[in-house]
Structure formats: structure tokens, C-alpha cells
Structure 1
């Protein structure tokens, strides 16, 4: 089974009611960080703004819960309230069907429209849900995305608490299936602890047996890496010889480590300023064509909020705007609550897989490395 991108169907602006839509109203921001009254809040879906003379502009780099600002070039950009400048031209209007020159296009990918009977069994996500077809789809998608897209991973520390999972994810990086990574201080710290001491939070990462005075190990790791100056310098010096952070640095894969109020240390690359970390996370999320989050509720929710349902490619069928394609979003967790939060985003392409993330990482690596025969 080979993967092909779904076809995007843009709106018909020559048909009613869009052909009769007025131009969007733009009002200057009255103060820094303050939007005008009746501002339009952006969504995760393709949004178009009428500029007059039946010219509609697509918001190309969207994010939910922002405002739409028209730039001097004529393009529209999603801007957080905190980044608004006084005088920025902000789109206003609370309707989304063209009545005020704003159109939110929720049917651009008809392939994702629901197609099921009104009554059916086992349509919800539970521990009894089967995921075989989701795995097969994911294998095909990732093979396609490795060369044609941008695969962004969002990891919790559970991925490195197991030796096989840590090795498996390191293989995924080495084999080109990781183009960017978002995580916190704990993922990096315990991965590096595994490289230096073979433990994670003091437990041996294969046997799970506690090491003597193992509660010092992550602190010792933090101290050594801080003394080296950075994770990158620790890798380049030969101090770190294996693991996820080593592979990321060796292959120059971009990563963002976001700080937390509970962090130890933290590692030198961890961003303590939450808004700077958010900006850095958004930069990678805006490039993503597939996002996979694993065992991290807070980072999953945060990334979900900054990831649109579509991505505009630079060189597509439309020379001005590029080809519009869906962004795929997967959440992997043992908790039904955690994966249900993904569905609450409303993304048409969102999928959840309810499983142990260590098993998931190993299964994925084996399939993509050719150790498992594809499902017939």
C-alpha cells in the first residue's frame, strides 16, 4: 500500500454567497498587545479573507486563537495578542461564512468527512479499540513524509525509560524519520543519564533495577553536561556516545526543550522563558506536515493548539499560494484522557493510538526498518 496526499478542494468564490461577500473590515490595533473590538479569532482550518474585486487571500501560516493581521505585502498572518503592534491592521468580524469577508473552509478535504451510520457499535476510543489499520496507515505515511514532508515528534520522558524504546527511537532519527523534536528538560536529562550511566531516574533502563545511590544519577548528569557547556558540546566531545540527544545533535535535527517550574538543573539548551519556548515550538510546528506526540499530556495539548489542520507548500499547483495539504496529527498514550484531548482539537486528520509508548516505538522501528512484513 503506497501513500498519496488527499486532494484539496478550494472554495468556489464565484458562487453565492461568496461572490457577493463584502471586503473584510480591517481596524488598526489600538495599543500594543491589544486587538480592536469584534476581532476575528483564527481557527485550525483554511481561512480566506476577501480583499475586494473577488480577490481572496488564504492565511498561509495559521494558528488557532490568534488574530489575522494584514501585512503591507497584502498577505494575512496569524498573530498572537502579545505580539500585536499598535497600528497593525486586524481583521474584524465574528461570522465565518463570508458575511463579513471572512470564510473558514472546513470542507477542503472531503476525504475526511464522516461516513458512518447514525447508530454503530464501538465508535469511541477505549482500551478495546483495535489499531492495526492505524499502524499500517502510519507506516505508509511516514515512508512518504521522510522524503516529502516534515515529521515533528513531541516526546515525554517515558520514551527513554526503556532500553529498547530508547534504541528504537534513536534508530528512527538515524533513518531519517525525525525532522524535528519538542520536549521538556526531563526527556533530555534522562536520555543523557542513560548514555552516561545506563539509568533513568536511577533505575537501570533494561532491568529496571535501582542503581546504588541512583537518585543522584540525573543530578550528576545535569552537572556534567552543564560543565561541558551544552548538550551539543557534550556530544561533540565524545562524552555522550548514544541515545536520542546524541542522534539529534549528530544529524543536526532541530529540537526545542521547554522549561517547567519543576525542572532540576535544567539542561543548558532548555528555554526557561515560556513565551520564547512557545515561539520556538511554533516555528517547528508551522513546518510540520505530520506530528506524533508520545506520553506527554501538556506538550501534546500545547502542540495541538499551535498546529493547523493544513500546510501550504511553497511550490504547488497555485503559484501564488502553493499546494494546500493536510497536516496529520497522532497522539500515543496509555491514558484515554490524554488521547481524547487530541480529538477535542477538532482536527480532521487527528488520530489517537492507545498503547504503551515503549511498545509503540519498538513496533514502529521494526516496521520501518523492514523487520516486519507489511500487512496484506
Structure 2
């Protein structure tokens, strides 16, 4: 059966709450980087702003914990506090049901389920006891669809490249066209390149798991070698790096962002050391995502979840859902993502190496 995206259900603008709603109010920012009092903070859900009589405008490129600014041309844009300039008009009012001219639409793709009228039911959440067969099948269908009709963005921790089969599977997915962008840190790229140069990750064989002599130098040697080359791309072009995830991304011209952290060794020259430049670069990729797959990296996953809306407005004006999958062995990691506001994320609790191999085989 061919996968079909769910229809987006518009709000019923004939309801009394819309008919009697005031126009949204915009107040000037009192200073650079400071929103007016009673600013309206955005969420991951579609939000409509009553900009003129009988016209509610859907905010595009939204994300949580930002504000809605009106441009000089009258367009609405979602932006961070740090980008605000004194005098910028920003939407105010914290009502979400139209009383302040703003409506938060949470059921556009999935109307509220009533479970046959029962207020109580077992196993409504996700745990290690949950069967993930349907989650896998759903992911396969979505990825086949979005390979041609969307943008699949991956968020990956170094565990993905600690195993030779998982690393190879990821490379094959890149070659097959299932990766349109990667968000990661210095560690994933460094250990992937260590694998290319020494066939180890943190000094341990990526296939036989044996500790190499002086293996604890390998990731530093990889960093030093790549820094001397000037770039990952140059190392690939010169034939120094002949396999691995970074090799596949470079060869297929797939964009990636490596965001720096306090604990980084080296780092690689491609790592964005400025946290806000890294955030901007991550948002450019995440903002265009239709599907996100996050693999065994808690902090990068939460960061991406916070900057990824639950919907995407396509070029033809249609609205479609953004699918978000987190793959981790830890229930805590999946729960923490939900606690940070990414309520639409689907968790698959499993070993990430097995997940990658199974996913590649299925696709």
C-alpha cells in the first residue's frame, strides 16, 4: 500500500470563538534583544494570527520559545529574542484560544482520541516492554515517501560509528538518498574519521572490538591529521579518507552541521565553535525537515526537537506533519525529549547499531 500523508484539518473559522476574536496586537520592543511585556511565545504547533478582519494567517517556520515579529512588509516571522531590535513590533497576549487574536491548533493532523469514552486505559505510553513493530513499519513508509517528497534530517551521536556494520549501514543510506542533512558534534565525525584511518573508534576495533596498542592516541591522531589537511573535503579528495559517514556525506554533497561543545578535543576545523552560529546552522537544516531521525544523542536531540515544528508549510501552500523519531536504549532520553516540549516525537527503544542495520536492510 502506498504511503499517504494525513490530511491537515484547518480550524473551523466559523466557530464563535473566531467570529468574536479581536485582531492580534503588536507592541514595540523596548530595547535590542528585549521583547515587550506580555509577549506571545511560540510552540511546536501551528499558530494562527488574526491579522485583519476574517483573515487568520498561519505562522510559517515556527519553533518553540520564540516570538512573532511583524516585518516592515507586514509579514509574520518567528524569531529568537537575541535577534530583536528596539522598536520591532512583536505579537503580545498569552491566550491561545483566539481571545488575544492568536489560535494554537493542536489537532490539525490527529484529532483528540477518546479511547471509546474510557478515561482510564493500560499501556498508553512507551517503555522497554512496548512492541515497536508498527513504529518501524511507519518509519519505513515515511522514509520511502520523504526520500523523494521531503527532507530527512538525521541527528546522530558517536555510537552510530562505533560499530562497523552500523557505520556501513549509515553510509549506504546516504548513498541511497535517505539522508538530506546531518546534525552532530565533533565526536561523531572524529570517531568516524578515526575508523577510516585506523579502523578503530576510541582505540577499539570497530569490528573485532579489540583494543589497539596505543589506541587512545587514535582519535587525537585522526584530529591532528585532518587539521593538517585543512578540511574533511580535502582529505576525501586526496584519498586519505576512503570510507565512512563523513566520506559518504562529502561524496554525495549532503550538508551537515557539527556543533561544538565544552568537552571537544581538537576539534575538527568544520566544528562550529560559536554556540549561536551553530544554532543558526542547525536551524537552517532542521527548519526544512519533514522527518527527523535522532540516534543516541540526548542533548543534540533535545536541541533539534526544540527548533523543529510539528508541521511544515510546503511550496504549494499545503500543510503536512513533521515526523520525529528518537532511537535510544534509554527510556529516560525519550522522556526527557517529551519533557522539553517535543510532544510529537516517537520513541523506538533499542540498540542504535541494530536499528541502523535493520533500517538499511528494510530500505
TM-score bracket for the superposition, by shorter chain length: over 0.9
TM-score, normalised by the number of residues in structure 2: 0.97
User: What do the CA deviations read for 1:205-262 (whole angstroms, capped 9, x no partner)?
Assistant: 0011000100010000001100110111111111110000001011110100000000
CA distance in 1, matches of 2:270, 2:87: 35
Tell me the number of residue pairs that the alignment of Structure 1 and Structure 2 aligns: 362
Corresponding residue of 2:130: 129
Query: How far 1:48 moved relative to its partner?
Result: 0.9
Q: Secondary structure at the match of 2:182?
A: strand
| Residue among 306, 324, 330 paired with 1:329 | 324
Stretch of structure 1 that moved more, 123-132 or 144-153: 123-132
Q: Report what 2:286 is aligned to.
A: 285
C-alpha separation between the residues in 1 aligned to 2:129 and 2:324?
Answer: 21
Distance in 1 separating the partners of 2:112 and 2:162: 36
In the aligned structure 1, how far is the partner of 2:146 from the partner of 2:219?
A: 35
Q: Mean Cα displacement is larger for which, 6-15 or 161-170?
A: 6-15
Q: Deviations over 1:130-181 (max 9, x none)?
A: 1011111111110001000000000000000000000000000000000000
Residue 22 of structure 1 contacts residue 52 of structure 1 at CA under 8 Å; is this kept in 2?
A: no
1:23 touches 1:50 (CA, 8 Å); kept in 2? yes
Q: In structure 2, what is the Cα distance between the partners aligned to 1:305 and 1:295?
A: 17
Query: Which segments of 5 or more consecutive residues in structure 1 lack a partner in the other structure?
Result: 316-321, 369-376
Aligned-residue offset at 1:120: 2.8
- Superposition deviation, residue 128 in structure 1: 1.4
Provide closer, same or farther for how the CA distance between residues 149 and 115 of structure 1 changes in structure 2, counting only shifts above 3 A: farther
Counterparts of 1:244-255 in structure 2 under 5 Å? Answer: 244-255=245-256
SS of the aligned residue for 1:51 comes to strand
Contact 2:24 2:91 in 1 (8 A): yes
Deviation at 1:122, TM superposition (A): 2.6
Which residue matches 1:86? 86
Q: What SS does structure 1 have at the residue aligned with 2:325? A: strand
| In structure 1, C-alpha distance between the alignment counterparts of 2:324 and 2:169, rounded to whole Å | 21
TM-score of the superposition, structure 1-length normalised? 0.94
Aligned to 1:318: none
Aligned CA RMSD, in angstroms, stands at 1.3
- Do 1:342 and 1:352's aligned partners in 2 also have CA atoms closer than 8 Å? no
Deviations 1:11-58 (A, max 9, x none): 122331111211111111111100000000001111111112212111
SS of corresponding position for 1:281: helix
1:365 aligns with 2:360: yes
Per the alignment, residue 155 of structure 1 pairs with: 156
CA 1:334 to 1:160, structure 2 compared with 1: closer, same or farther past 3 Å?
same
CA distance, structure 1, for counterparts of residue 171 and residue 164 of structure 2: 11
Q: d(CA) in 1 for partners of 2:345 and 2:334?
A: 10
Q: Which residue of 1 aligns with 2:348?
A: 353
- Which residue of 2 is the match for residue 232 of structure 1? 233
Provide structure 2 residue ranges, at least 5 long, that are not aligned to the other structure: none
- Structure 1 match to 2:336: 341
Q: Structure 1 324/113 Cα, relative in aligned 2: closer, same or farther at 3 Å?
A: farther
